[in-house]
Amino acid sequence: MDILAYIANNIPLILERTVEHLSLVVVAVGAAIATGVPIGIAITQNRRIADAVLYVAGMIMTIPSIALFGVMIPILAVVGQGIGYLPAVIALFLYSQLPIIRNTYTAIDNVDPALREAARGMGMTAVQRLRTVEIPMAVPVIAAGVRTAVVINIGITAIAAYIGAGGLGDFIARGISQTDPRQLVTGALGVSILAVLADYALLWVQNRLTPSGLKG
């Protein structure tokens, strides 16, 4: 088959694009975890701020990705970084906020009040409680949020090819514009497999992080 031949002949290129793709996702999600988790924890202290933050993050999610990329371009053009890596990473970073913040917030907020009561009764401060009870129990849910963010981002990164960010989406874009089904399918299969593999891999991690007392 043409496609298989194409793949076989272009492995270095495919790998290069895959690495490009993954690096975008990893950087964006990594940054999102670094900001999202603390924000998620912080907003558990105040219901109204939490509602506001989640609302804003949710709004960002409803904006179609290409639209967000589009809006990033003129803004970043001011600093000469209009296309390519930076707008893509920033948009991806913003898209990762909701799953991570919301999962962190929900996980900590939903810790059984009885547990909180017991911890307080034992004389723990709020910070100690966070550290020994709430956060460990929240980790699997946060991991689920990270997983969602990664899978969504792999998809959006494919679109980022259209603003010059590279990645596997590049094959799809060229495949469409050059009416080349080999590149098209290579790209489509590539992102699909990448997404599915990432989902399973992170599911495994999520399960590893679930304290055995909470499983099943």
Q: Which is nearer to other proteins, 46 or 132 (CB)?
A: 46
Report, in Å, the least distance between residue 175 CB and other proteins: 7
Q: Which is nearer to other proteins, 47 or 120 (CB)?
A: 47
The nearer residue to other proteins, 67 or 214, going by C-beta atoms, is: 67
Residue linked to tokens 């002949």: 9
Amino acid, res. 167: G
Nearest to 209 by CA among 126, 139, 127, 142: 139
- Cβ-based neighbours of 145, under 8 Å, separated by 6 or more: 36, 99, 100, 102, 103, 104
Minimum distance from CB of 167 to other proteins (Å)? 11
Burial class (CB in 10 A: 0-12, 13-18, 19+), 213: exposed
What residue ranges bind other proteins (CB under 8 A)? 45-49, 51-52, 59, 61-71, 73-74, 77, 83, 151, 154-156, 158-159, 162-163, 169, 172-173, 175-176, 181, 184-185, 187-189, 191-192, 195-196, 199
Q: Is 196 or 214 the residue whose CB approaches other proteins more closely? A: 196
In the complex with other proteins, the residue whose CB is nearer, 176 or 214, is 176
Which residues are CB-neighbours of 39 under 8 A, at least 6 positions away?
A: 53, 97, 101, 104
Distance separating alpha carbons of residues 31 and 95, to the nearest angstrom = 11
CB of 51 to other proteins, least distance (A): 7
- Nearest distance from C-beta of residue 189 to other proteins, angstroms: 8
CB of 67 to other proteins, least distance (A): 4
For the stretch 93-129, what's the b/e string if a residue is b when 16 or more beta carbons lie within 10 angstroms of its beta carbon?
bbbbbbbbbbbbbbbbeebeeeeeeebeeeebeeeeb
Quick one: 31 or 60, whose CB is closer to other proteins? 60
**66/77 Cα distance (integer angstroms):** 16
Residue 62 CB, shortest distance to other proteins, in Å, is 5
